[in-house]
Amino acid sequence: MRTGEAIAMATKQETKATGIGAVEIPGRDNQMNCADFQRDLPLIIDSGGSEEQEEHLRTCDVCRDLVNDLRYIADQAKLLVPMLEPSPKVWDGIEEKLKLEGLIKPVQARRTP
């Protein structure tokens, strides 16, 4: 058996045994499968991958959906704005400590807006 045929057969056997999908590209024996792609994904998701990895992404629905989901989560996280504010007791505590340390002088009765 030639080397290329052996690799192709091994890949098909791995796919059958583990359920791990592999993209079928005619003429390419040593193609990237989902396990390989997802193993490297942490390092490439924000910066882009090699030609082979990008090819896998273009042709594999499962990995493409995964990457789209992860990028969507990251994009949504960027939109989170500081909504909540601390209770007034936080400033009271700061002011009290600074006065105790003599760092600020007592201010007339007044509260942070």
Partner 1 sequence: MTSGMPESEAIERAQQGDGECFEALYSMHKRRVYSLCLRMTGNTAEAEDLTQEAFLQLYRKIATFRGESAFSTWLHRLAVNVVLMHLRKKGLPEVSLQETMEPTEEDGPKKDFGAHDQVLAGSIDRVNLERAIESLPPGYRIIFVLHDVEGYEHNEIAEMMGCSIGNSKSQLHKARMKLRDLLKITRAERAGARK
**Which single residue is written with the structure tokens 């009271």?**
92
Range in contact with partner 1 (rule: CB under 8 A) among 4-12, 24-32, 40-48, 51-59:
40-48
Q: Residue 72: helix, strand or coil by DSSP?
A: helix
CB burial of residue 15 (10 Å; 0-12, 13-18, 19+): middle
Counting contacts by CB under 8 A, is residue 25 touching partner 1?
no
Q: Which sign does the torsion angle of CA 80, 82, 84, 87 carry?
A: positive
Binding residue for partner 1 (CB under 8 A) from 34, 49, 53, 57? 34
According to DSSP, residue 101 is labeled: T
Binding residue for partner 1 (CB under 8 A) from 1, 17, 80, 109? 80
Q: Which of 8, 15, 13 is nearest to 62 (CA)?
A: 15
Range in contact with partner 1 (rule: CB under 8 A) among 2-10, 24-32, 48-56, 104-112:
104-112
Q: Contact residues for partner 1 (CB under 8 A)?
A: 18-21, 34-35, 38, 41-43, 45, 61-62, 65-66, 68-70, 72-74, 76-80, 82-87, 89-91, 93-95, 97-98, 103-105, 107, 112-113
